[in-house]
Amino acid sequence: MSSSIHDLIETTLRTAFEPERLVVLDESAAHAGHAGQSGSGESHFRVRIVSAQFSGRSRVDRHRMINEALKPAFARGVHALAVEASAPGEPVRW
């Protein structure tokens, strides 16, 4: 049995970024019936991550890094990804 997309996202981000904090939220239920909603129910996610690899990087660069790392998740049906990426010591809203 293949792992869930949620697990794929979490494992990939832990490996790629060695985060101090990581929260992966599946928000697909809130988008049921919307465009891009796959039959798996795993299509919309929010990632909250704090990693030293984001130090000195712009918000856009951080998002690009995460999107690049998560190409396999997008290939498996992720339609939308909200990203809250911070470096250690930066304020977070969560």
Q: What is the pLDDT of residue 71?
A: 98
Q: What is the pLDDT of residue 29?
A: 78
Q: Mind listing the domains of the chain with CATH numbers? A: 5-86 (3.30.300.90)
pLDDT tens track of the chain, all 94 residues?
Answer: 457 999 999 999 999 999 999 999 999 876 565 554 445 578 999 999 999 999 999 999 999 999 999 999 999 999 999 999 999 999 998 8
Sheet holding 21-26, edge to edge: 21-26, 44-50, 80-86
Tokens for 73, please give them: 């998740």
Give the whole-angstrom CA distance, residue 50 versus residue 38.
Answer: 29
Q: Answer whether 0.95 is exceeded by the pTM.
A: no
Report CA-CA distances (Å) from 26 to 19, 71, 75: 19, 17, 17
Q: What is the pLDDT of residue 37?
A: 47
Check if the beta carbon of residue 62 is closer than 8 Å to that of residue 92.
no
